[in-house]
Structure 1
């Protein structure tokens, strides 16, 4: 792949001189600097408190040739500038750090400074179709950037898209490797599953699929169309030898002409089934039971105007087995997703969340608020509750700020609290990293592109 792309770049540069004068090569910088402070603490001071200050810098460029060709390259370096001992286990639960360690290299946790080739792609596009191959970003329903650390998740493969005269857009992805956030390497699809904590098997023992999952590729088909007041999107994600996930989403908007208020209603539905041998022929090492058949329904109501953006969301998951989507690959697609926690890995789920964001007039300051209840299966049912997670309530308070005096600079602050619902009798392993905690993020971003 690298030889092909570098060879293509040389060919394009040569063509600048060989073709007609109007065919020019345009170079645009692609630079992203991020500074990230993270801290996790517990009211029960016997649990281990952790903190980390990390930074990353992506140095790259976009090269455009003859209006149709685009070449993109970017290398990101990472640094652990200051942190607690993230490798030391918690003295009470014996659990490992979950949040701060993900800022750095989960595959080589002792490395304080490292780097990786984040982007390397070539594309050709017109007004109606395009194709890109190489290493690139992705934003699909179940594989996406999940940009909540020092770098986003990326993919290696190919993407083809087509727009029709009646405003349908179709796209297809073929993926052979993954760049998991918090790692320094590009991994095969099967290798990327198990980088994050693996939870437990249906028998209650620790899962052992990390490094033993067999899957060679991911295929995604997408179709989208926007009418005047309705948006519709459909996707189908096939993970070879593991699962197939069909996802449908529709949104309807109404505008109140006299007040400018826009009302919104959305509906999502999905169906997931196991494929092949679930990642390994040995039941002890497989990631997903191939007999699993799961469904989800999620809905949203809300409104927004010049100052406020508010919505209320509800999701219900059911079926046979566990709804699974590797946490290494992105955030949940359902409306009830709240940053800093995911709800995959359960056989059933009821979630109710609310979101409010306010744009302060004559400023670029936006305070926001998340609030949610998540009712999960019983803790003593590992076949229904993979991560041994208690039902919980989550609150996120935050603010976003983009100063007008410095272009493309933004600040984000997030304060998160999770508490177990009702008076659950929890073990240390069911509290540490999960509930009864305070988690803080402070982020600085600067982009030049």
Structure 2
């Protein structure tokens, strides 16, 4: 079915053109959709003899939405990328032999020497009413485990079909069929299996360097989602992410807001189960992405409070079971509440994480500051089968500032500093430090958007 997606797109597009021809009196409108982004990134290892990199990248998406009869929409968008200036980000760190992990993700990980390139990021046809909708083509996505993860110059996008049905204001049912992805940090549209391993692959369960990149067999992704509102202040959510020949992940969550005298109290709980499928990507052990016998579970919770000036919440996650909880980093960020930008906790058999988040907004001044403080206890680094990336337990602090001028609402600025330190006093090897801990990471982001 997935291999027939281009034919389906052509068929639906033909219906769209035929409708235009037969109903010329109905209104056609064009809404421009432009997005410029500038992204400065720099990684520093204080007092350490590791390769330090920097990069300034820019991207521009030239797009539009063609609307017809209030039911049809044709989405188009072409994005260009430019490496304005950078260090030698394509070269390995001399001490460890490891490639750069952060700055290269601004551009094309498959060709780090490419200074300027572009791609057709969006090309989809949508038909929707108040109760049903279907979109076919290249589009954005924001599901639990496959999402935009918009922390570089462009978001991750997918090629496939999305359909939804909302019989009333309380229920919504959604399904996705995906045959290709354009991951952030790539200039190409790739088949599902081809995307797995573009980011660092870590270790096989044997302890040897993993070799699943280019050897992973997976033809499609399927997602189903169910959402149910419970009154005005609560909702429940279910999803299943099925990756052909790799794994199946079930995820559920409940969230509730309650008004109190000082603001709004928030409560959330999530839980999930994951198991391997087929050959886990390949029958060869060192080429295998996921052990088909893996059985993993995760629970995550949140307590929070907010008012017009303050947002704060305390989050906890526990991952357990047999084998590694996995989700390709090319596909999206972690769904659990303890996710902190610039690091993830997939790839481990056991995780305990606690994260505190605080944000303050300066009233009439369009500035907000925020901070994450997280403590992450991971599986023993000596156990390769339980710790894919040879990553030590660590603490992480993120401090950020956001500014959107009142007179220029299309423009926003975002500054972020990240500090990661090992948790505990064990002696670490250079490979356990570089790209991971004992580091400072700086981001400066400017966005300009115009759409109507």
| TM more than 0.5 | yes
Q: Is the 8 A contact 1:5 1:120 kept in 2?
A: no
Q: Which residue pairs with 1:125 in the alignment?
A: 128
User: What displacement does 1:284 show?
Assistant: 2.2
Q: Which residue pairs with 1:322 in the alignment?
A: 324
Question: SS of 1:190's equivalent?
Answer: helix
1:164-216 CA-partner distances (Å, limit 9, x unpaired): 22510000000000101000000100001011000001111100000010011
1:51-107 CA-partner distances (Å, limit 9, x unpaired): 000000011110011110010111100000000001222122221110000000011
Q: Is the 8 A contact 2:309 2:362 kept in 1?
A: yes
Give matches, 1:102-141, under 5 Å.
Answer: 102-141=105-144
Q: Which residue pairs with 1:163 in the alignment?
A: 166
CA RMSD, Structure 1 to Structure 2 (Å)? 1.4
Gaps of 5+ in 2: none
Q: Is the 8 A contact 2:206 2:286 kept in 1?
A: no
CA distance in 2, matches of 1:244, 1:290: 10
Q: Which residue pairs with 2:253 in the alignment?
A: 249
User: What displacement does 1:16 show?
Assistant: 3.8
Q: Which residue pairs with 1:447 in the alignment?
A: 449
Q: Which residue pairs with 2:297 in the alignment?
A: 295
CA distance in 2, matches of 1:352, 1:231: 24
CA distance in 2, matches of 1:114, 1:158: 27
1:18-64 CA-partner distances (Å, limit 9, x unpaired): 3152x111100111100000000001341111000000001111001
Aligned counterpart in structure 1 of residue 381 of structure 2, from 379, 382, 395: 379
Pairs aligned (count): 446
Q: Which residue pairs with 2:45 in the alignment?
A: 42
CA distance in 1, matches of 2:240, 2:94: 44
Question: SS of 1:101's equivalent?
Answer: helix
Gaps of 5+ in 1: none
1:415 partnered with 2:430: no
Q: Which residue pairs with 2:178 in the alignment?
A: 175
Question: SS of 1:399's equivalent?
Answer: strand
Q: Is the 8 A contact 2:29 2:66 kept in 1?
A: yes
User: What displacement does 1:14 show?
Assistant: 6.5
CA distance in 2, matches of 1:6, 1:202: 44
**TM-score for the superposition, normalised by structure 1:** 0.97
Q: Is the 8 A contact 2:254 2:270 kept in 1?
A: yes
CA distance in 2, matches of 1:91, 1:182: 23
**TM-score for the superposition, normalised by structure 2:** 0.96
Q: Is the 8 A contact 1:16 1:24 kept in 2?
A: no
Q: Which residue pairs with 2:31 in the alignment?
A: 28
Q: Which residue pairs with 2:343 in the alignment?
A: 341
